Chain A
């Protein structure tokens, strides 16, 4: 009994170890390859880079730093919009009573059932019709509109569960609705909002097909879309994997920074079931 349990334990740990190892293969590969050129990869795949080609990073920085900046800026702006509108509407639905409230809420809720693939083409024609193609508005407006659906549901749940007395007291002290939203509700659901922000930024940062459709100049493009054409500007048609890997690592840095402080919010948000929707 004791023996078999020990064997089981050892087995479990080795499986866990193997899984961790496999999970990190892409990371190790990315780092090791990013310091080489194609020749080194081809001839000495298993040895360490010799010499280490740091220039890959300098070159790829020149090429995609602009796009990384674009991605960070646009995702952040869109997320700020989502946070503001979600919390505001979440407050209205969670705290106020007015005719037609549930009807409007269900209209919003039902959008959870509308997949992106249905709306993507008409939306594309629509933003083209507004002459927004190839501008950041084409990304920000739909991202804010789409992101707030989940956010409103989340915020309504949390704001609705706050004790009503808090708001009663504020009202007696003469606080306006906006004041009690801003001064009472917002600080109390801040952790939820940070969670929402982290999830939303990651979502926007990872979006691919929408920027691919609506943005057509390299200068305004998001980093995810240009990753697949790294090195093609130089006119060489061979995929330079070292250069590309350096680019992949660089494009991961903003999320690394985000998660260095946002990881615990993300984890608590997902594990607490907030994301279940």
Chain B
């Protein structure tokens, strides 16, 4: 009776959980939809990129029409956004400049062999062509229908304007090349010269005014009455139509081109090495930047062209990449919203699953009892969980997350801010094909073996010091071997860098002093001595840590064992090999494992002394990882190296633990 009553008196509110689960599901779907909506708005800054090989010139076409390029093999080629050739027209010389007519239907191309070609964009058919007096450098088709061409040779440089029928309208003489051209709304021509000058030329071909910047001008653009310029050294600014400076700023870098996005009111710069930077056209404030290092591959120099839509640019070099300027400016904030929506979605889904599981567990009286008990215990230990929150949160955020991220991104082409593409095993193939990685492994093998052997010294010293009879002497000598720990390890390496210095160093000075001049070397600078020199850093290799671990192990050996040894009358060598060494197995194994783990990640000593050189004689995988990330921004590849090293460390460590435990003694 009583039992029955307790069962009935607590009818578990199952319905609430069903409702909760359904509600969570609805919220989850809502979140999913909004995340997808944001994702749709979240345009990747890079709309597409096409593998084109090195380009001399390129121009973006509107919408999805692709682009037209002038490549190295004297061709004008129209490509779609996948880099597929739509038509191709041979020219007699390198195409140095391309521009579209205001209506976007015709194309003006200028060549190094003094030709101007007008062609139909759709078909590639030539509609007009004429000669220009000098090799062409750049071309600009103005809104008024006139075409400006910058040409020149040696000290004679000319900027011409033509009508679209080929009638020469004006000529402007310069003694230095003009790389930047633009038309103002009133039909004036704005030019930027290699003599650091921005000039405005009126319809009669007369100079109105000029402004002097600090380096060759690589880009000019006009918006209403404002003229913008950028020079090669990163000085940029805005001038009014009278040539008065409105503002100017500086950004470091080596720049090759600039364009103005009218719709986004941003200036877009491109650097020699494929960096795209956005600054506000209002006051020049920095907005954001994007690095596309492949643009620079194989020595290609980047260039930039604005797409007819006005908010997109085509950046080219070894690739052609269409970048959405608005998306680039908004990417950070929008992607933030998307990321947090995704996070909340995951949490809601987890809660949903929990609610369903809970509902199912509660539905069955048997599992209900167990579940309730567990929940009661969890609730009772809430303090414990609460106290663990900071620890667990930090570990999840800064240890687990990056570890998982490393494994995931090792399979991607990872350029944060630009793109993350899944590319399968490509990064690992790259590791396997990398000459440097193999050299690194070979050098690591030397380092690991020698580092292992070096442990003999602290072991021997620990034994000797341990057997010093006078307690006071023993104490002081022990401390003498520990004291060097006050020297930061980096300092230790740097002092040895001095010892090896070919001109000032201790080693060469000693050799000279004892008459062995011929033995002197540039120790770290010669291929055949560098690695050995690095191995000999820190001689006599008594690391305070290893010394103390061995010393502690010796203290731990029970006195009776020594007594027994003494009774047997064994000498110190036998005592060492048959008593102490076997009893120190745990310590030896610990130090071998730690040394192995440390050496596999060896970076500091090599980075500071030789940076992997000379040639590749001291290269190690950790250097390859560091350089591929810090210099080449190839984070996917760097992650793959990390994963490979992790696997090697894991296997090596487990192997050492197994191997040693088979001969373990019980003390």
Listed stretches A49-57, A163-171, A186-194, A200-208; interface member:
A200-208
Q: How far is the CA of A33 from the CA of B268 in the complex (A)?
A: 52
Q: Which residues of B contact A227 (CB under 8 A)?
A: 490-491, 494
Q: Which of B388, B553, B629 has the most chain A CB atoms closer than 10 A to its own CB?
A: B388
User: Is the Cβ of A121 less than 8 Å from the Cβ of B635?
Assistant: yes
Kindly identify, within residues 140 to 173 of chain A, every residue whose CB is under 8 Å from any CB belonging to chain B.
141-142, 144-146, 148-149, 152
Q: Which residues of B contact A129 (CB under 8 A)?
A: 416
User: Is the Cβ of B622 less than 8 Å from the Cβ of A117?
Assistant: yes
Q: Which of A24, A29, A101, A119 has the most chain B CB atoms closer than 10 A to its own CB?
A: A119
B548: Cβ under 8 A from any A Cβ: yes
A62: Cβ under 8 A from any B Cβ: no
Listed stretches B23-31, B201-209, B503-511, B658-666; interface member:
B503-511
Q: How far is the CA of A138 from the CA of B376 in the complex (A)?
A: 40
A236: Cβ under 8 A from any B Cβ: no
Q: Which residues of A contact B597 (CB under 8 A)?
A: 115
A29 touching B495 in the complex, CB below 8 Å, given contacts A41-B504, A119-B642: yes
Partner of B388, one of A89, A116, A118, A181: A89
A206 touching B646 in the complex, CB below 8 Å, given contacts A98-B385, A118-B406, A270-B548: no
Listed stretches B93-101, B123-131, B391-399; interface member:
B391-399
Identify the closest chain B residue to A209 (Cβ): B603
Kindly identify, within residues 201 to 259 of chain A, every residue whose CB is under 8 Å from any CB belonging to chain B.
202, 205-206, 208-209, 213, 223-224, 227-228, 241, 244-245, 248, 251-252, 255-256, 258-259
Shortest Cβ distance from residue B252 to the other chain A in the assembled complex, whole angstroms = 13
Partner of B645, one of A104, A117, A228, A259: A117
Q: Which residues of A contact B378 (CB under 8 A)?
A: 98-99
Q: Which residues of B contact A115 (CB under 8 A)?
A: 597, 600-601, 645-646, 649
User: Is the Cβ of B481 less than 8 Å from the Cβ of A23?
Assistant: yes
Q: How far is the CA of A12 from the CA of B642 in the complex (A)?
A: 45
User: Is the Cβ of B461 less than 8 Å from the Cβ of A16?
Assistant: yes
Partner of A46, one of B414, B489, B509, B553: B509
User: Is the Cβ of A213 less than 8 Å from the Cβ of B403?
Assistant: no
Shortest Cβ distance from residue B357 to the other chain A in the assembled complex, whole angstroms = 15
User: Is the Cβ of A146 less than 8 Å from the Cβ of B486?
Assistant: no
Kindly identify, within residues 381 to 434 of chain B, every residue whose CB is under 8 Å from any CB belonging to chain A.
381, 383-385, 387-388, 390-392, 394-395, 397-403, 405-406, 409, 414, 416
A88: Cβ under 8 A from any B Cβ: yes
User: Is the Cβ of A228 less than 8 Å from the Cβ of B608?
Assistant: yes
A145 touching B392 in the complex, CB below 8 Å, given contacts A117-B646, A259-B485: no
Shortest Cβ distance from residue B551 to the other chain A in the assembled complex, whole angstroms = 6
User: Is the Cβ of B490 less than 8 Å from the Cβ of A97?
Assistant: no
Shortest Cβ distance from residue B217 to the other chain A in the assembled complex, whole angstroms = 30
A30 touching B495 in the complex, CB below 8 Å, given contacts A120-B642, A209-B603: yes
Partner of B390, one of A85, A177, A263: A85
A121 touching B638 in the complex, CB below 8 Å, given contacts A30-B495, A255-B488: yes
Main SS of chain B's interface residues?
helix
Q: Which of A104, A205, A213 has the most chain B CB atoms closer than 10 A to its own CB?
A: A104
User: Is the Cβ of B384 less than 8 Å from the Cβ of A92?
Assistant: yes
User: Is the Cβ of B409 less than 8 Å from the Cβ of A122?
Assistant: yes
Partner of B488, one of A96, A107, A206: A206
A42 touching B504 in the complex, CB below 8 Å, given contacts A23-B542, A98-B378, A228-B494: yes
Q: How far is the CA of A226 from the CA of B233 in the complex (A)?
A: 28
Identify the closest chain A residue to B462 (Cβ): A271
Kindly identify, within residues 107 to 136 of chain A, every residue whose CB is under 8 Å from any CB belonging to chain B.
107-108, 111, 113-126, 128-129
B2: Cβ under 8 A from any A Cβ: no
Kindly identify, within residues 11 to 27 of chain A, every residue whose CB is under 8 Å from any CB belonging to chain B.
12, 15-16, 19-20, 22-27
Kindly identify, within residues 307 to 323 of chain B, every residue whose CB is under 8 Å from any CB belonging to chain A.
none
- Could you tell me how many residues of chain B have their Cβ less than 8 Å away from some Cβ of chain A? 93
Q: Which residues of A contact B14 (CB under 8 A)?
A: none
Identify the closest chain B residue to A152 (Cβ): B391
Main SS of chain A's interface residues?
helix
A145 touching B549 in the complex, CB below 8 Å, given contacts A248-B491, A248-B494: no
User: Is the Cβ of B549 less than 8 Å from the Cβ of A213?
Assistant: no
Shortest Cβ distance from residue A91 to the other chain B in the assembled complex, whole angstroms = 8
Shortest Cβ distance from residue A11 to the other chain B in the assembled complex, whole angstroms = 11
User: Is the Cβ of B402 less than 8 Å from the Cβ of A123?
Assistant: yes
Kindly identify, within residues 632 to 667 of chain B, every residue whose CB is under 8 Å from any CB belonging to chain A.
635, 638-639, 642-643, 645-646, 649-650, 653
User: Is the Cβ of B381 less than 8 Å from the Cβ of A96?
Assistant: yes
B477: Cβ under 8 A from any A Cβ: yes
User: Is the Cβ of A89 less than 8 Å from the Cβ of B387?
Assistant: yes
A77: Cβ under 8 A from any B Cβ: no
Query: Can you list 27 A-B pairs with a CB-CB distance of less than 8 A?
Result: A19-B457, A19-B461, A19-B542, A23-B481, A26-B484, A26-B487, A26-B495, A30-B491, A45-B509, A46-B509, A91-B387, A96-B383, A99-B378, A107-B395, A119-B406, A119-B642, A121-B629, A122-B403, A122-B405, A128-B416, A146-B398, A208-B490, A228-B608, A241-B504, A244-B494, A271-B551, A271-B552
Interface residues of B, Cβ cutoff 8 Å to A: 374, 377-378, 381, 383-385, 387-388, 390-392, 394-395, 397-403, 405-406, 409, 414, 416, 457, 461, 464-465, 477-492, 494-496, 498-499, 501, 503-504, 506, 509, 513, 539-540, 542, 545, 548-549, 551-553, 555-556, 572, 586, 590, 597, 600-601, 603-604, 607-608, 622, 625-626, 629-630, 635, 638-639, 642-643, 645-646, 649-650, 653
Q: What are the 6 closest A-B residue pairs judged by CB atoms, nearest first?
A: A271-B552, A98-B381, A145-B398, A122-B405, A122-B402, A119-B402
Interface residues of A, Cβ cutoff 8 Å to B: 8, 12, 15-16, 19-20, 22-27, 29-30, 33, 38, 41-42, 45-46, 85, 88-89, 91-92, 96-99, 101, 104, 107-108, 111, 113-126, 128-129, 141-142, 144-146, 148-149, 152, 177-178, 181, 202, 205-206, 208-209, 213, 223-224, 227-228, 241, 244-245, 248, 251-252, 255-256, 258-259, 263, 266-267, 270-273, 275-276
* Extra 14 A-B pairs, beta carbons < 8 Å, given A115-B597, A248-B491: A12-B464, A22-B539, A22-B540, A30-B495, A104-B388, A114-B403, A117-B601, A118-B642, A118-B646, A206-B490, A209-B607, A223-B488, A227-B491, A228-B490
